[in-house]
Amino acid sequence: MKATIAVLPGDGIGPEVVEQAVGILKAVADRFHHQWEFQYAPVGAAAIDLTGNPLPAPTLATAKASDAVLFGAIGDPRFADPSHKVRPEQAILGLRRELSLYANLRPVTTYAAVYDASPLRQELIEGVDIMVVRELTGGIYFGAKTRTATHATDECSYSSPEIERIAHLGARLALSRRGKLTSVDKANVLETSRLWRQVVDEVLARHYPQVKLEHMYVDAAAMHLLRRPADFDVVITENMFGDILTDEASMLPGSLGLCPSAALGDGALGLYEPIHGSAPDIAGRGIANPYGTILSAAMLLRHSLKLETEAAAIESAVNSALNAGVRTADLKPRGTPATSAEAGKAVLNAL
């Protein structure tokens, strides 16, 4: 098939990990006889430097006109001072909103070859396979903000339809997996969470009575993710809880660098990015872990292009690279750490 893939490398280690993922996508095109057209565009601090805008109109247009977006990372220490009016992060929030990518799939899988890279004991993380669905265009991230010299507010708002679509997606995913859905909220305190819980109950009772639904408070979920992670199947939660819990959950496989994500809407267009940030401390050295971005490219093939065989081939190749002992510095290598290029090459060879 033919597809146009927008490539937004962004800042810090973004371009380095994206380069490896693009190499894998090219290899998949060769092997499975597809044709990709890659359209590169600047985003984040890189785009601020060029245009003054973290999400320039041509970048947004390129993303909108594509079949899928491969995204690296954004963020730059030059904008660390929160008083900056123009910030790199506005680009990813703007892309999610402008492309209506309201559902964020963040799979958390552990790999036997790198069990020892996790800070948790092996017996806890064996067989962990969680699919977190994070609501991505609502909640406190996108509510009204106010600020005076001494007072600030961030509004958290959710409507029933915003919750319903996440409940449907989570339930459908649960049916295709182990049949269990955990809805995470803070319904003992927050009104948005009380609505969330009510809507999830209604959708599940009406459409998915076969799914085993449980509700969990976010503080308890944070604890159970470490205490008995293998018990989770599909997790649905609001925007900010999902942001926090998935960083925590990345310690189950052992590194943020292993975790991919897909931001999806109603159509086929999606945005695919590793869940890690721009890691300015190691940027430009060619040592960042590219596996999370490569696994994001696999999700791109699966969800936007409906190429399940190709997606699974990449995932299995990453597993082979890990089994072959190819570990970047974040994966606690025993000898010399692999570079980003060596990790990419190992996946390529396995493919």
Active site residues: 141, 186, 219, 243, 247
Distance between CA atoms of 214 and 196, rounded to whole angstroms?
Answer: 13
Q: Between residues 183 and 246, which has the closer beta carbon with respect to ligand IPM? A: 246
Q: Between residues 70 and 322, which has the closer beta carbon with respect to Mg ion? A: 70
* Window contacting Mg ion (CB under 5 A); options: 188-196, 201-209, 240-248, 256-264: 240-248
Q: Which of residues 81-110 bind ligand IPM (CB under 6 A)?
A: 89, 92-93
Q: Between residues 93 and 329, which has the closer beta carbon with respect to ligand IPM? A: 93
Q: Between residues 201 and 243, which has the closer beta carbon with respect to Mg ion? A: 243
Whose CB is nearest to ligand IPM? Answer: 89
DSSP H stretches of helix in 115-249:
122-125, 160-175, 191-207, 218-227, 239-249
Is the Cβ–Cβ distance between 330 and 289 less than 8 Å?
yes
Q: Between residues 12 and 170, which has the closer beta carbon with respect to ligand IPM? A: 12
Token reading at 287: 């040592």
How many Cα atoms sit within 13 Å of 156 on the Cβ side? 16
User: Shortest distance, CB of residue 84 to ligand IPM, whole angstroms?
Assistant: 14
Q: Which of residues 145-204 bind Mg ion (CB under 5 A)?
A: none
Q: Which of 89, 129, 202, 243 binds Mg ion (CB under 5 A)?
A: 243
Whose CB is nearest to Mg ion? Answer: 243
User: Shortest distance, CB of residue 289 to ligand IPM, whole angstroms?
Assistant: 16
Binding mask 239-258 for ligand IPM (x = CB under 6 A): ----x---------------
Residues 6+ apart with CB under 8 A from 106: 131, 132, 133, 134, 242, 246, 249, 259, 260, 261, 275
User: Shortest distance, CB of residue 290 to ligand IPM, whole angstroms?
Assistant: 17
Helix axes 160-175, 191-207, angle to 10 degrees: 50
Q: Which does 89 bind (CB under 5 to 8 A by kind): ligand IPM, Mg ion, none?
A: ligand IPM
Q: Which does 202 bind (CB under 5 to 8 A by kind): ligand IPM, Mg ion, none?
A: none
Q: Which of 275, 321, 326, 343 binds ligand IPM (CB under 6 A)?
A: 275
Q: Which does 113 bind (CB under 5 to 8 A by kind): Mg ion, ligand IPM, none?
A: none
Distance between CA atoms of 161 and 12, rounded to whole angstroms?
Answer: 37
User: Shortest distance, CB of residue 217 to Mg ion, whole angstroms?
Assistant: 20
User: Shortest distance, CB of residue 275 to ligand IPM, whole angstroms?
Assistant: 6
User: Shortest distance, CB of residue 142 to ligand IPM, whole angstroms?
Assistant: 11
Which stretches of the chain are assigned E, i.e. beta strand? 2-10, 35-40, 68-73, 103-109, 129-135, 145-147, 152-154, 180-185, 212-217, 234-237, 262-264, 270-272
Distance between CA atoms of 9 and 328, rounded to whole angstroms?
Answer: 20
> φ and ψ at 264, to 5 degrees?
-120, 155
Q: Quick check: 89 binds Mg ion (CB under 5 A)? A: no
Q: Using CA atoms in the order 173, 174, 178, 183, what is the torsion angle rounded to 10 degrees? A: 130
Q: Between residues 202 and 243, which has the closer beta carbon with respect to Mg ion? A: 243
Length of the chain equals: 351
Token reading at 45: 């601090």
Q: Between residues 89 and 202, which has the closer beta carbon with respect to ligand IPM? A: 89
Residues 6+ apart with CB under 8 A from 251: 118, 119, 120
> φ and ψ at 3, to 5 degrees?
-150, 150
* Window contacting Mg ion (CB under 5 A); options: 163-171, 199-207, 235-243, 289-297: 235-243
Where do contacts with ligand IPM occur on this chain (CB under 6 A)? 89, 92-93, 243, 275
Where do contacts with Mg ion occur on this chain (CB under 5 A)? 243
